[in-house]
Amino acid sequence: MCGIVGAVAQRDVAEILVEGLRRLEYRGYDSAGVAVFSSEHALQRVRRLGKVAELANALEEQAVHGGTGIAHTRWATHGEPSERNAHPHVSGHIVIVHNGIIENHEELRVELMGLGYEFASDTDTEVIAHLVHHEQKSSPSLLAAMQKAVKRLRGAYGTVVVDSRDDSRLVVARSGSPLVIGRGIGENFIASDQLALLPVTRRFIFLEEGDVAEVTRRDVTIYDVNGDLVEREEKESDISHDAGDKGEYRHYMLKEIHEQPHAIGQTLEGRLGGDHVVVESFGNGARSIFEQVQHVQIVACGTSYNSGMVARYWFESIAGVSCDVEIASEFRYRKSVVRPGSLLITLSQSGETADTLAALRLAKASGYMSSLAICNVPGSSLVRESELAFMTRAGAEIGVASTKAFTTQLAGLLMLVAAIGRCRGNLDSAVEAGLVKALQTLPQRIKETLSLAKQIEALAEEFADKHHSLFLGRGDQYPIAMEGALKMKEISYIHAEAYAAGELKHGPLALIDAEMPIIVVAPNNDLLEKLKSNIEEVRARGGILYVFADEATGFKSNDTMRVMNINHVEEVIAPIVYTVPMQLLSYYVALIKGTDVDQPRNLAKSVTVE
Ligand code: M6R
């Protein structure tokens, strides 16, 4: 999705802006642009279709100078990816960048054309530029013009505006798309994600819904949705400065897969007593809420949804609490019945996914007893707007394909299941102690599984020329098959479907032939015998199987079956451990196919629009 960087300083800011855009590249985009202002120079705007590197090259040939500037990476929604649709957009002296979608852009466009404005792009953003320009004619300041303009907008925006006649200030507004102000000494910055500004500051103010702010070199003045002057807390970021570096790894995705033992260790740190989960890890007041929980409703998208699907098995079998899981984009538009004592749990790496956020807002108004976010980004909208929050501490995840965020979410969810189970009186302390012990072994178990990387790389060779694939699992491994299939399609572009293995004979068996690889996750659990029968159903029809199995299952490689042995792990953590070979398989297949692993086509890291 789009990225924003802005600066108001006394030094040349073009470099800072471009570096900020580079750090936002992982979000996915198709064009980039920058506008820099100074009292000596007229507006200097450079835009390019394609990567930030193209923009940087253009800036080498056409240097821009000035202490104030705004920059943007665009992920096309309205209007094709092209230079003319790239931001910043201009209306006279008003220059603007915008993230989000303006839903009433057509009606505003007609109105503005009636006022004599001509449009130079097909974007919805350009209506904001003209609207601010128009409102400025009857306003005492740019800030007042912005406050009037945003009242006319429906939809989502994080936007920054500059009046090119006055390079001393940026005016920004946020509704539905995140914006953060970075505080410097004698200079200030703005970005859609703090990651963009880490080279220049660690002090951040997160704008809230409806905020409009004026940012000068010295001051930040913020007005809330009612136009009242407000103070927003300044926070020190603990994200590491080099979070955006690939280090020794060829891709962020590979680096992040290998970071999982550390990320899970961090997520557990300080949250496990000797034999129990520390309930307060989920926030002040968690205990009294958990004691009353009668039902859990999980809402999420994509990979985060898959982790919710695993948690459903755990909630019902371990905590004795009923649980539903729903994709946020469905949940938010469906009339649903709220069960008494329902806790809403949202899961999200970014904490800014538009559908998940909308689902939370809807739920808050629909009678849920409370809300809990399990999230990887401190200060994100989801965290700020939920009553309880649990941070997964995976560190910045840059690869579009979510890996360490998923396994740390699962670790957090397992702790939550134990905490709720105990608070409800449904979890025996010996069972909880066993679960805690299993969680403590998790970083080491993942490390062992990562050592299969070379073997999985070899396996990927057989896989890479296929066009379709089927992933199978049963019980709490069914969502792991779903996650395996999602990773495969997302980065290798091979069509992949996941099925609960017991469902094969109800349709998908018709697809089986030697051209359809079948991937199976097979720990040694109660469902093993059932799974073995399903595997036989596939073999009998000429299917080629790739089985990731606990040694004790007795599977042996032969002509139609490749077996990859996974060290035995405690059953409860097996879904987390078996995720790792799925990630590695899709990574190595994508590598052979030569796709853009970290930024797969048509996808964005953080889906901040509907
Ligand atoms: O930031 P979120 O966890 O809310 O993102 C949800 C999905 O967009 C995300 O998990 C997506 O499915 C991943 N790219 C999958 O790898």
> What confidence tens digit (pLDDT) does each residue in 86-97 have?
999 999 999 999
Catalytic residue among 2, 301, 323, 375: 2
Higher pLDDT, 604 or 413: 413
Can you say whether the dihedral through the CA atoms of 127, 130, 136, 141 is positive or negative? positive
Return the best residue to mutate from 301, 305, 409 for the ligand 1 pocket (most ligand atoms within 8 A of CB): 301
Query: How far, in Å, CA of 274 to CA of 405, rounded?
Result: 25
Closest CA to 124 of 145, 152, 110, 103: 103
For the cut 90, the answer to whether the pLDDT of residue 280 exceeds it is: no
CA 579 to chain CA centroid, nearest Å: 18
- Give dist(CA 492, CA 475) in Å, integer: 26
Instruction: State the Cα–Cα distance between residues 353 and 349, nearest whole angstrom.
Output: 9
Q: 297-347: per-residue pLDDT in tens?
A: 999 999 999 999 999 999 999 999 999 999 999 999 999 999 999 999 999
- What average pLDDT does the segment 213-227 reach? 97
In the DSSP assignment, the letter for residue 40 is S
Q: Which protein residue's CA is at the shortest distance from atom 10 of ligand 1?
A: 303
Q: For ligand 1, pick from 353, 586, 596 the residue to mutate: most ligand atoms within 8 Å of CB.
A: 353
Ligand 1 neighbours (beta carbon < 6 A): 301-304, 348-350, 353, 356, 400-402, 486, 490, 606-607
Cα–Cα distance for residue pair 144/138, rounded to 1 Å: 9
Give the range among 121-135, 304-318, 532-546 with minimum mean pLDDT.
Answer: 532-546
Rg (CA), the chain: 25
Mean pLDDT across the stretch 211-240? 92
Q: Is 605 a catalytic residue?
A: yes
**Backbone φ, ψ for residue 466 (5° rounding):** -85, 155
Query: Which residue blocks in 7-94 are alpha helix, DSSP H?
Result: 14-24, 52-61
Q: Strand, helix or coil at 595?
A: coil
Residue nearest to atom 11 of ligand 1 (CA): 302
Atom 4 in ligand 1: residue holding the nearest Cα: 348
φ, ψ at 10 (rounded to 5°): -105, 5
Q: Output the CA 198–ligand 1 centroid distance in Å.
A: 23
What letter does residue 278 receive in the DSSP assignment?
Answer: -
Helical segments of 315-428, H only: 328-331, 354-364, 381-385, 404-423
- 50 Cα: distance to centroid of ligand 1 (angstroms): 23
pLDDT at 378 over 90: no
Q: What is the pLDDT of residue 244?
A: 61
Mean pLDDT score, 153-167 = 92
Transcribe 504-527 into DSSP letters. GGGTGGGG-STTSEEEEEE-SSTT
Considering only CA atoms, which residue is closest to atom 9 of ligand 1? 302
d(CA 88, CA 606) in angstroms, rounded, equals 21
> Does 30 score more than 90 pLDDT?
no
Q: Which amino acid appears at position 371 of this protein?
A: S
The H or E element that residue 339 is part of is: none
pLDDT tens digits along 489-503: 999 999 999 999 999
Q: Please state, rounded to an integer, the average pLDDT across all residues of the chain.
A: 93
- Name the DSSP letter for residue 157: E
**Ligand 1 centroid vs 381 CA: distance in angstroms?**
15
**CA atoms of 479 and 488, how far apart (whole Å):** 14
**Distance, CA of 567 to CA of 554 (rounded, Å):** 13
| pLDDT, position 572 | 96
Residue 241 has pLDDT above 60, yes or no: no
Q: How far is CA 558 from CA 282, 537, 546, 564, in A?
A: 48, 16, 11, 12
CA nearest to 174, candidates 380, 363, 386, 25: 380
pLDDT at 380: 84
SS3 282: helix
pLDDT on residue 514: 87
Place of tokens 């069914």: 478
Going by C-alpha positions, the residue among 33, 575, 28 that lies closest to residue 252 is 28
pTM of the entire predicted model: 0.74
Given a contact cutoff of 8 angstroms between Cβ atoms, the answer to whether 32 and 55 are in contact is yes
Q: Cα of 3 to ligand 1 centre, how many Å?
A: 17
Most confident among 163-172, 242-251, 274-283, 535-544 (mean pLDDT) = 163-172
Task: Please give the backbone phi and psi of residue 212, each rounded to the nearest 5 degrees, phi first.
Answer: -125, 135
Q: Specify the 3-state DSSP secondary structure of 239.
A: coil
* Band of residue 610 on the pLDDT scale cut at 50, 70, 90: confident
Q: How far is the CA of 540 from the centre of ligand 1 (A)?
A: 37
Mean pLDDT value of segment 44-52: 95
Pocket test for ligand 1, best of 252, 253, 380, 402 (most atoms within 8 A of CB): 402
- Residue 559: is it exposed, middle or buried by C-beta count within 10 angstroms (0-12/13-18/19+)? exposed
Catalytic residue among 51, 255, 404, 605: 605
Which distant-in-sequence residues (6+ apart) come within 8 Å of 190 by Cβ?
A: 4, 5, 6, 7, 70, 160, 170, 172, 179, 180, 181, 182, 215
What region does 464 belong to: left with phi over 0, alpha with psi -120 to 50, or beta? alpha
Mean pLDDT (whole number) for 17-41:
87
Largest Cα–Cα distance in the chain? 79
Q: C-alpha angle with apex 174: 170 to 180, nearest 5 degrees?
A: 65
What's the pLDDT at 240? 63
**Does residue 544 contact residue 535 with C-beta atoms inside 8 Å?**
no
Average pLDDT over residues 226-231: 96
Task: Give the model's pLDDT for residue 243.
Answer: 60
- What pLDDT score was predicted for residue 173? 97
Question: In whole angstroms, what is the distance from residue 14 CA to residue 571 CA?
Answer: 53
Identify the weakest region by mean pLDDT among 236-245, 252-261, 461-470, 507-516: 236-245
The two three-digit tokens of residue 15, written as one number: 């470099």
The percent of residues in the chain predicted with pLDDT above 70, rounded, is: 99
